[in-house]
Every structure is written in C-alpha cells, then in structure tokens.
C-alpha cells in the first residue's frame, strides 16, 4: 500500500523539475528577441526624441546572454541609447523588479508590458536618480 502513495509524490517532483527544458535563465527570456528603440527621453538637458521603428535595433540572445545594438539612424547629434556594439547582459531581480546589467554594470530598471520594453536609468538597485534616460523599445 505504501508503494502506491509514493507514485503521486514522484509524479509531482518530476513535473516541477521539468518546467525548464533549455537551461536558459527564465528572467532573461523576457528580453529575448529583437526590439526597436522608438523614444529616448530625460537626461540633464530634458531630451525627448522619437525614432522610427527599425532604425535602432537591440537584439537580445538569452541563450548566449548577449545584446547586439545596431544603428541605421546615422546621426551622432543626439543621445540614442547605447553605442553600436555587442554586450553581455543579465537581469537581476530585486523584490520583484528587474534591473539590466550590461558588461557587468547596472544600466537601470526594466519594465516589460506585452510588446513594450522600458529601460529606466533613473531607477537602480542603489536608489533613484534624476538625470538618467528613459528608453522605450517595441518588438
């Protein structure tokens, strides 16, 4: 009789262990894919710049934990997020909020709602700032 009682228990253990199949950190999957930067606002000068979708692209690869930034916008006159290049990235969760780290440096808080991604440089694990940028990206 005791053998029958252990079967549901083992089934529960296998079900809980089988939730992640690829070994990719679950929180990085929130960013995985291609995002277009469409707005940058804030900073000391009070910037508010709209950018056409597809002009500045951030491509996150959760499996390799890399971010590739490409810029087809071609203007260096204004601040448009990150410089072109490849970065290593990770997300740190603190009390239910996520913070983006690029090349082991904290960049700001990440908020993802449906197909919109907000990166707030004024919100960090060490507190709030006033002269950082808010970047809006869409899929």
| Separation CA 66–CA 89 (nearest Å) | 6
**Domain count of the chain?**
1
End-to-end CA distance of the chain: 55
Question: Rounded mean pLDDT of 84-92?
Answer: 94
In a domain, 10, yes or no: no
Q: pLDDT grade, residue 16 (50/70/90)?
A: very low
What's the pLDDT at 28?
Answer: 53
What's the pLDDT at 23?
Answer: 40
Q: Average per-residue pLDDT in the chain? A: 81
Range of the domain at 131: 24-138
What's the pLDDT at 115?
Answer: 92
Number of neighbours of residue 50 by Cβ within 10 angstroms: 10
21 versus 92: the higher-pLDDT residue is: 92
**Residue matched to tokens 């009390």:** 95
In a domain, 79, yes or no: yes
In a domain, 92, yes or no: yes
130 versus 42: the higher-pLDDT residue is: 42
- 71 close to 84: Cβ distance less than 8 angstroms: yes
- 122 close to 129: Cβ distance less than 8 angstroms: yes
Which of 130, 134, 119, 135 lies closest to 44 in space, CA to CA? 130
What's the pLDDT at 80?
Answer: 73
pTM of the model: 0.76
In a domain, 42, yes or no: yes
In a domain, 15, yes or no: no
For the ranges 6-15, 33-42, 54-63, 79-88, the lowest mean pLDDT is seen at 6-15
CATH of the domain at 41: 2.40.128
In a domain, 38, yes or no: yes
């Amino acid at each position: 009789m005791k053998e029958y009682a252990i079967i549901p228990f083992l089934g529960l253990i296998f079900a809980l262990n089988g939730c992640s199949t690829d070994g990719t950190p679950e929180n990085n999957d929130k960013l995985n894919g291609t995002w277009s930067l469409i707005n940058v606002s804030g900073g000391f000068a009070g910037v508010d710049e709209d950018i056409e979708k597809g002009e500045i692209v951030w491509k996150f690869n959760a499996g390799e934990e890399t971010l590739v930034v490409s810029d087809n916008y071609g203007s260096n006159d204004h601040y448009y997020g990150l410089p072109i290049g490849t970065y290593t990235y990770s997300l740190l969760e603190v009390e239910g909020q996520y913070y983006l780290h690029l090349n082991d440096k904290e960049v700001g808080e990440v908020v993802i709602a449906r197909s919109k991604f907000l990166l707030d440089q004024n919100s960090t694990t060490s507190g709030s700032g006033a002269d950082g940028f808010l970047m809006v990206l869409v899929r």
